[in-house]
């Protein structure tokens, strides 16, 4: 079973999400939280695989919470149109992706399954579009770029090749085709890249590649 935490300050939205997820036999909502602090506490007390987290909540919001729990739990941020700047910050903090609150029920269920399997719910390509739009307002300055470049120095030349393609939004099969590698080899490279860079997922690695400037040209 995929164990899910629902974090939203609106009880009606939590109830609706619980009903939708109840349709899936492999998903169980094990806890609810009304703000980020409560979500952090839940994750520290009980096993959770995926957290559906509202970005805007009173007190400790979803952005603060994802920074605390993204290492332990796959976090999907719930958002509405107009929250793109918040989304960029959430992705930098390690969120697995984001969904609009009016997402189709079947897509919500599939998103939870994908996140639990370690996949990005928000594709790297879409993430890059969000970051490109807001990077000037979201701390993408010279110091940030310098820090990103220092972090990628730990990678081998082949790992850099893979990271560039992750940053451009390619999936493992596409990367394998371009670099003439097996899917299994690419998967191993991606895992090593995430470990070396201290990234929670490939979306966060794509953001780092973007900040380091290795996607230009």
- Give the start-to-end residue ranges of the domains of the chain: 2-122, 134-212
Tens-digit pLDDT profile for residues 12-21 = 989 999 999 9
The pLDDT of residue 131: 54
Residue 192: count of CB within 10 angstroms of its CB:
16
- Which pLDDT belongs to residue 118? 77
Instruction: Compute the distance between CA of residue 57 and CA of residue 80 in angstroms, rounded to an integer.
Output: 13
Of 85-89, 106-110, 152-156, 182-186, the one with minimum mean pLDDT is 85-89
Residue 17 CB partners (closer than 8 Å, separation 6+): 6, 8, 29, 52, 108
| Beta strand extents in the chain (DSSP E only) | 2-7, 27-33, 50-54, 74-79, 97-100
Which token pair is 137? 């307002």
| Geometric angle at alpha carbon 57, from 52 and 63, rounded to 5° | 65
**DSSP annotation of 73:** S
| pLDDT over 50 at 164, yes or no | yes
Supply the pLDDT for residue 137.
Answer: 44
Q: In CATH, what is the architecture of 134-212?
A: Orthogonal Bundle (1.10)
Checking if the pLDDT of 196 tops 60, the result is yes
pLDDT value of residue 156? 96
Q: How confident is the model at residue 130 (pLDDT cuts 50, 70, 90)?
A: low
Write 17-22 long-range contacts (CB < 8 A, 24+).
17/52, 17/108, 20/105, 20/108, 20/109, 21/108, 21/109, 21/112
Q: Report whether 143 contacts 149 (CB < 8 A).
A: no
pLDDT of 133: 57
- Considering the four listed CATH numbers 2.60.40.1080, 3.40.50.2300, 3.90.180.10, 2.60.120.10, the one that applies to the domain covering 2-122 is 3.40.50.2300
Using DSSP, state whether 14 is helix, strand or coil: helix
| Same fold flag, 2-122 and 134-212 | no
Rounded percentage of the chain residues whose pLDDT exceeds 70: 87
**Average of per-residue pLDDT across 176-196:** 94
Banded pLDDT at 79 (limits 50, 70, 90)? confident
54, pLDDT greater than 50: yes
């Amino acid at each position: 079973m995929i164990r899910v935490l629902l974090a939203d300050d609106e009880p009606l939205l939590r109830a609706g999400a619980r009903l939708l997820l109840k349709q899936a036999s492999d998903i169980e909502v094990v806890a609810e939280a009304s703000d980020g602090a409560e979500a952090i506490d839940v994750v520290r007390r009980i096993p959770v695989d995926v957290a559906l987290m509202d970005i805007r909540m009173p007190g400790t919001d979803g952005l603060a919470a994802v920074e605390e729990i993204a290492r332990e739990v796959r976090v999907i941020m719930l958002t509405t149109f107009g929250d793109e700047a918040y989304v960029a910050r959430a992705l930098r903090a390690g969120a697995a992706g984001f969904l609009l609150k009016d997402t189709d029920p079947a897509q919500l269920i599939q998103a939870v399954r994908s996140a639990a399997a370690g996949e990005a719910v928000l594709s790297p390509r879409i993430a890059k579009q969000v970051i490109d739009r807001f990077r000037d307002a979201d701390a993408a300055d010279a110091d940030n770029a310098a820090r990103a470049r220092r972090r990628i120095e730990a990678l081998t030349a082949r790992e850099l090749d893979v990271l560039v393609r992750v940053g451009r939004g390619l999936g493992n099969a596409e990367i394998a085709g371009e670099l003439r590698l097996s899917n299994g080899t690419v998967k191993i490279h991606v895992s090593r890249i995430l470990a070396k860079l201290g990234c929670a997922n490939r979306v966060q690695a794509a953001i780092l590649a973007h900040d380091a400037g290795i996607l230009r040209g």
